[in-house]
Structure 1
C-alpha cells in the first residue's frame, strides 16, 4: 500500500468532508469561509484521495479543521499518519500552539498526540465539541 501526503487545493477536501463528516447536510455546508486562506493536505492511498485535513494560522498559533478519513479506511492508522504530518509541519513552521474543535466522541484520538481538553465546549450541527490544544 503506497501512502502519500501532499498539499492540495481547498476544493479537493469538500467531497470527503461531506461524505465522512456531514453526509446529512447540504454539500455547501462543508465549505469554510476561509478555505482559500488555509493550507490543505490530502492523504492518498495508492493514488486515491482517502483523507484530508485543513490548517489555518494566526501568527504562530495554528488550528486544524475537518480531519476526515474515508469511512472504509478508518481505524487503519491513516488518521494517525495525517495527524503526525501536520504536527511535524507545525513544528517546522515554529508554531507555539495547535488547536482544534474536536468532536467529543473523538477526543481519545487527540490525547494520543498530547492534546489537552480546554473548558470550552459547544454543540453544533448535531454534535458536541470540545476545544483541544497542544503546546509546542
Structure 2
C-alpha cells in the first residue's frame, strides 16, 4: 500500500545522503532553508522509500533533494511522489515550479512537463541544469 504524507526534515536526511551523496557526511545534505520547506515522503507498507522537499518563494516553488532508495527505483514511486508534489504546488497557488536537475536526469523531468532553461552549473563535479514548468499549462 502506497502512502504519501508530510514528514519532518530530519526524516529526509538519511535517504538524501544514501541516494544523492553517499560519499558525503550527513551534514552535506542538510539545507539552510530546510526549516521553511515542506517535506514529503512516499511510504510502501509503512517503509519510507522516496523523499522530496518543496520550497515556495516569490519566484515560484523549487523542489529539491528528490531521492528514491536504489532498490526501489524503477517502480514508479518517484513519479507518483513528483506528480503529487506538482499538484500540491498547484493547489497552493504556485504559478511556476522548478528544480536543479542533474543533467543526466533531465529526460526524466521532461516527462512531467518541465523544460530545460539555459541556466547550467556544476556542483560536486556533477553538471546541473535548471528545469521549470508553468503550472497554468496542462499536464
TM-score range for the pair, normalised by the shorter chain length: over 0.9
User: How many residues are paired up?
Assistant: 135
Q: Which residues of structure 2 form unaligned runs of 5+?
A: none
Tell me what 1:103 maps to.
Answer: 102
Shift of 1:59: 3.5
Tell me what 2:119 maps to.
Answer: 120
Where 2:13 maps in the other structure, the secondary structure is helix
Shift of 1:55: 0.3
CA distance in 2, matches of 1:24, 1:14: 14
CA distance in 1, matches of 2:94, 2:111: 19
Query: What is the root-mean-square deviation of aligned Cα atoms in Å?
Result: 0.8
Where 1:29 maps in the other structure, the secondary structure is helix
Q: Residues 15-65 of structure 1: CA distance to partner in whole angstroms, max 9, x if unpaired?
A: 000000000111110000010110000110110011000000113610000
CA distance in 1, matches of 2:29, 2:104: 20
Q: Residues 68-88 of structure 1: CA distance to partner in whole angstroms, max 9, x if unpaired?
A: 000000011011001000011
Answer whether contact 1:60 1:94 (CA < 8 A) is retained. no
In the TM superposition, structure 1's runs of 4+ consecutive aligned residues that sit over 3 Å from their partners are none
Q: Which residues of structure 1 form unaligned runs of 5+?
A: none
Tell me what 2:74 maps to.
Answer: 75
CA distance in 2, matches of 1:66, 1:44: 17
- Which one is further off, 115-124 or 53-62? 53-62
Report the TM-score when normalising by structure 1: 0.97
Where 1:54 maps in the other structure, the secondary structure is strand
Report the TM-score when normalising by structure 2: 0.95
Tell me what 2:37 maps to.
Answer: 38
- After TM superposition, the structure 1 = structure 2 runs for residues 1-136 of structure 1, keeping only pairs within 5 Å, are 2-59=1-58, 61-136=60-135
CA distance in 2, matches of 1:108, 1:73: 19
